[in-house]
Every structure is written in structure tokens, then in C-alpha cells.
Amino acid sequence: MATEANQYAGPTVDGRIVKAFVDGVAETCGYFEERARRILARHGIEELQPGESYPLGAYIDAIHEVQRTTGPNTLNRIGRATPAALPWSHRVQTIEDAFVDLGRVFDRAHDGADVGSFEFQPDDHGGTLVADTPYPDAFEQGLIKGIGKHFGTNTGFIAIHESGRYRADGGDVREFDLTWWETRDDVKKISPPQEHARTGSPQSARAD
């Protein structure tokens, strides 16, 4: 159940997503699982149940506390753990399917107004993901990499080229130009869009 719910009236988030918070923090160190639960409890989320919904504001506050106290790497791991908890359609079988469907799945995992959105536009290289959500940048980066892990192969890679101001610097909407491939041989065949390679902040991540 969620306590102090009146403090966080408004949108809610599926309990399975909140459970991914615990899993992502625990991935850093087993000891951190209890710490993650204490952080959630401080923001009114206790007795975590996957079938319940919890105030989105409380969950976002807990995520920001992790960002302040442990840094972006832990937040990235929380994002990586999240795709396994999202309510994907059985029709989603590939990485591209997942990015195309991400906006709908994000809506299903949240309830209420002002929960944000994801929009994906495929292109010859992969596609552009536009993120307008209340979640921090490091979480979204981890979410993208987690989708590669969840729907890709053990040898799959996703390259992320970002544009737009970071939210910590007052930014709002973030754009991620994405390229993915299944094997190392494909890396030689696919190059990221040059305009974003010059202006964005490139990151390459193995999806494992």
C-alpha cells in the first residue's frame, strides 16, 4: 500500500515499475536493496505490492533522492531494470517494436494527467526518441539501454546520441538519436547521423 497518499495527489505509477527501482538499486550492491526500500518509505511508499499503484510524485522524489545521494550510475541501473517491468504487448518482439510502442506502454504504466510521453520516429539508422517525462536524464538513458537488453541479443549494442539541454540545467524535452545492431560486424555498416555526432553527447553501450 502507499502511505501519506494525500501528500501526493495526482498521477500514479504501476507498482511493477516501483519494484524495478528496488531491483535497480540492489543491482549496485545487495545491501542497497534495504536502503532502496527505506528511501521509498521516506516518500510514503511502503509494503510494496506489484498489483498496486503509487503516487508518481512520491516515486519521482525517491528517484531524485537516489540521484543526489548515489549519483547517476545507480539511476541508470534503475532505468535499465524498468523495461522488464513494463506491460509490453505480445506483439512487441524487436528493439524497434519496443521503441515504437514505448509511448503507449508508458501511458499504461502511469495513470493521470501530466505523466509525460515518449515519441519515436524510425529512420534508416534506427530512429529518434523524444522524451518529455518527469524522469531524470540518467533514468531515461538506462531505460533505453534496458530496452536493448530486454529485446536484443547478448551481442546487441545501442548507441545513443543526445541533444537538448539536460534537465538538471533547466532542460525539458530530450531527444535521443538511436542506432542499434545485432553483431559487431554490423557496427562497420552503420554510422550514427553526423549532425548529431557533432552536436550531441555520444554514448555507446552494450546491451547486456
For residue range 34-46, list pLDDT tens digits in order: 888 899 999 999 8
Claim to verify: residue 94 and residue 52 sit in the same structural domain? no
Whether the full predicted model's pTM is greater than 0.95, yes or no, is: no
Same domain, 129 and 174: yes
Question: Do 96 and 183 have their domain in common?
Answer: yes
Same domain, 128 and 182: yes
User: Based on the domain organization, do 169 and 129 belong to the same domain?
Assistant: yes
The pLDDT score that the predictor gives to residue 207 is 40
Same domain, 70 and 139: no
Host H or E run for residue 60: helix 56-70
Residue where a domain stops, chosen among 81, 116, 137: 81
CB 82 within 8 A of CB 36: no
Note the pLDDT of residue 166.
Answer: 55
pLDDT at 180: 86
- What is the residue range of 66's domain? 5-81
Q: Are residues 116 and 198 in the same domain?
A: yes
- Looking at the structure, tell me whether residues 102 and 181 fall in a common domain: yes
Q: Could you say which residues of the chain have pLDDT below 70? A: 1-9, 28-31, 50, 153-156, 163-171, 182-208
In percent, how much of the chain has pLDDT > 70? 74
Choosing from 81, 101, 124, the residue where a domain stops is 81
> Count of alpha carbons within 13 Å of 125, Cβ hemisphere only?
21
| 95 and 77 fall within a common domain | no
| 110 plus 196 within the same structural domain | yes
Domain-terminating residue out of 23, 52, 81? 81
